[in-house]
Structure 1
Amino acid sequence: MPQPTYRESSEESAIAPLPMAHLSIEIGHFSLDEIRYETDRIRAEFRRAVPLVRAFTESARVEFGPDARVSTCYLMDDYFQTAIEPAKVLDRLLDVAADAGLPIDYLARESGCHEAPVFAAGVAVGAPIPVAQMVAARLVAQPEDEETATGRRPPTTESGWLCNGRRERTGISRSSMHRETYRPAQEYGRREHSIFLDVELWHDRDEFRRWSCPFLAAVWQLLRLGMLRYHGAAVVEPQQWSATREWPGGWKDLPPVVRLNQDAAPFTAYRTLSMLPKRYLPIEHAVRLILDHLAIDDDVASYVAAQGRAEQVTVPSKVVERVGHLLLDGT
């Protein structure tokens, strides 16, 4: 599948400002089936999260002052489970959160990290923004090694695989007449030993690209950090959702991000914190690798850094340094 090229530079369009919180806290992540059938477990997890949210909010106030802006969010797993209607899970999730005393300011769709429809007056208009393809176009090419140089393995933009070092050489040559010496995989920048990671970003089948969970999770972090623009404009703009309004019949009719609390701090933030079960450790490790291999738009990065300076907030130049995790016991 050919790779499109995107540029969100201010040479073409002015960078639209986004309101920034100091901290965006993601609260858990469950499959839609878990939300439907395991509400007691989710309620227990949410109750455990309440004092943690308070603690991180207080920590932000200590660091940024008493008026520190902190928002909470939850990402729905609708990309991999499209058949379950929103109404069958959203009220259940929000009722459990309310019962646990856990405020959720924003609700987002994981499929919005693939394509983000633009909403006007509550209705999707025009073609959706190809968010995942935009981010994929910014992947930094890995140093060429023997595997790619000889054509044994295509580059990341073709294969959909990204690693943090030099892959192993198995010792098997294309020619049966020549056997090469085995060489183990090796991490770039290692100290004495390597921690080698090879991540599948997507796969293509019948002209259809299926994005991986780690890649969409990396896009999710970029959205929360306010680092994506489409021709200068915001990729997603949270839409206010009334508690009395019925959920749509399909996920595509729901905005990529909805604001549940009209008084919430902004969705985008200088820093993110994702509070997740420990089973997500491999995925979040992969997320950090992906973020480390992206060429972030210089104009957007400069704009966000300037926003931070105006508020006496230091914004690290490496986007991955703005991403935090709290991995919790349990499943």
Structure 2
Amino acid sequence: MRDAQAYSEATEQPRIAPVPLSHLSIEVGHFYLNDITGDPERVQAEFRRIVPLVAAFAESARVEYGPGARVSTCYLIDDYFQPDTDPAEILRKLLNAADAAGLTIDYLARESGCWQTSPFADGVPSGEAIPIAEMVAARIVAEPAPPETGRRPPTVESGWLCNGRRSSEHEKAMAMRDRSYQPPEEFGRREHSIFLDVQLWSKQVVAGRTETKWSCPFLAAVWHLLRLGMLRYHGAPVVVPQQWRGEPWPRRWHEVPPVVQLRPGAAPFAAYKTLSMLPKRYIGIEHAVRLVLDHLDLDDDVVEQVVAAGAADEIPVAVSRKISERLSHLLLDGS
């Protein structure tokens, strides 16, 4: 991991550019890439089931924020773990299924864009790659378990983050001294612990070089930060949605912009709050996401900017400074 100082902008004092914000960003399901290519009829059926749910939550937003409530929809493609697939085939089948089901997807995003991305201008990559995942990892503040024994490396070295004190099961007993087993313990628990230990990344050697492989929960946490408009690079948004004008899709994922705006005139991609409609199998990942978000030291200027934007909106929005409180989920059966 790079040092957190590599991403510090405190001495430069750059202008923090605002991002346009909707009231609500709705994530409309998630499928493995093999599902999209191998069973598009099931994808279409699931999208058809989601259509009335989107309408219901959009109406709920209008009740809360008024008839002018801004609601956008998005879908995340998990190309990070299957980079050798054909985006042209996958996106064609996905969007055809959405159209057939009557589901409007305003924004399409790539999971690998939560790892790193190059700025796009006029639909093509330009400029240096932005190490988004490393930026977020550098802002993790783990909670040390007192007394800290030093037996387990810190998160920045180990790639693991937990919400409490780990068990003593894997700690070697000191020479000539017995140690009794100590179970894991959640910090801030009420009566009993719900202990969670999440792997954020792993290291692997590729062509003689050590590379970081980011975990699905960590990339999902970055995805939520993008949807909430919380990330900047030298004061500028790390991604800016690119308009899609119906041109053929590229055959390589890195040639697809990190966030593509599919519908002209759509409400902004980022929002004060997010709702993710996901299969129940993602409940563990979303639990891990909340843990990661609760351990981030986010840029205070960005937090204050979003809070102020909510207060100044046409219908004021109370934006929580605790980022995980701006997330909500709808877990779907049978998908």
Q: Same fold (TM over 0.5)?
A: yes
- Do 1:171 and 1:180's aligned partners in 2 also have CA atoms closer than 8 Å? no
1:156 — aligned with what? 155
Deviation at 1:305, TM superposition (A): 0.7
**Structure 1 residues 34-82: Cα deviation after superposition (integer angstroms, max 9, x where no partner):** 1000112111110110000000000000000000000000000100001
- Do 1:226 and 1:268's aligned partners in 2 also have CA atoms closer than 8 Å? yes
Q: In structure 1, how many angstroms separate the alpha carbons of the residues matched to 2:271 and 2:11?
A: 21
Equivalent position to 2:265, from 227, 245, 263 = 263
**Structure 1 residues 83-132: Cα deviation after superposition (integer angstroms, max 9, x where no partner):** 10101100100000000000000000000000021011221112111000
SS in 2 for 1:324: strand
Q: Does 1:293 align with 2:295?
A: yes
Q: In structure 2, how many angstroms separate the alpha carbons of the residues matched to 1:205 and 1:172?
A: 25
Q: In structure 1, how many angstroms separate the alpha carbons of the residues matched to 2:57 and 2:234?
A: 35
Deviation at 1:296, TM superposition (A): 1.0
- Do 2:151 and 2:171's aligned partners in 1 also have CA atoms closer than 8 Å? no
Aligned residues: percent identity? 61
1:201 — aligned with what? 200
SS in 1 for 2:260: strand
SS in 1 for 2:275: strand
Equivalent position to 2:252, from 246, 250, 253 = 250
1:221 — aligned with what? 224
Query: Counterpart of 1:317 in structure 2: which amino acid?
Result: R
- Do 1:9 and 1:298's aligned partners in 2 also have CA atoms closer than 8 Å? no
Q: In structure 2, how many angstroms separate the alpha carbons of the residues matched to 1:58 and 1:11?
A: 43
- Do 2:116 and 2:133's aligned partners in 1 also have CA atoms closer than 8 Å? yes
Equivalent position to 1:234, from 233, 237, 240 = 237
Change (3 A) 1:126 1:171: closer
SS in 2 for 1:18: coil
Change (3 A) 1:95 1:172: closer
TM-score under structure 2 length normalisation: 0.95
Q: In structure 2, how many angstroms separate the alpha carbons of the residues matched to 1:57 and 1:9?
A: 39
Structure 1 gap ranges (5+): none
Q: In structure 1, how many angstroms separate the alpha carbons of the residues matched to 2:211 and 2:290?
A: 26
Query: Counterpart of 2:150 in structure 1: which amino acid?
Result: G
2:70 — aligned with what? 69
1:27-38 maps to which residues of 2 (within 5 A)? 27-38=28-39
Q: How many residue pairs were aligned?
A: 328
TM-score under structure 1 length normalisation: 0.96
SS in 2 for 1:191: coil
1:1-331 maps to which residues of 2 (within 5 A)? 1-5=1-5, 6-9=7-10, 12-146=13-147, 149-170=148-169, 173-206=172-205, 207-243=210-246, 245-311=247-313, 312-331=316-335
Structure 1 residue runs of 4 or more that deviate by more than 6 Å after TM superposition: none
SS in 1 for 2:221: helix
Deviation at 1:145, TM superposition (A): 4.0
Deviation at 1:141, TM superposition (A): 2.8
Q: In structure 2, how many angstroms separate the alpha carbons of the residues matched to 1:240 and 1:53?
A: 23
Deviation at 1:173, TM superposition (A): 3.2
Structure 2 gap ranges (5+): none
Deviation at 1:174, TM superposition (A): 3.9
- Do 1:9 and 1:297's aligned partners in 2 also have CA atoms closer than 8 Å? no
- Do 1:18 and 1:226's aligned partners in 2 also have CA atoms closer than 8 Å? yes
Moved more, 3-12 or 99-108: 3-12
Q: In structure 1, how many angstroms separate the alpha carbons of the residues matched to 2:263 and 2:96?
A: 14
Deviation at 1:241, TM superposition (A): 0.3
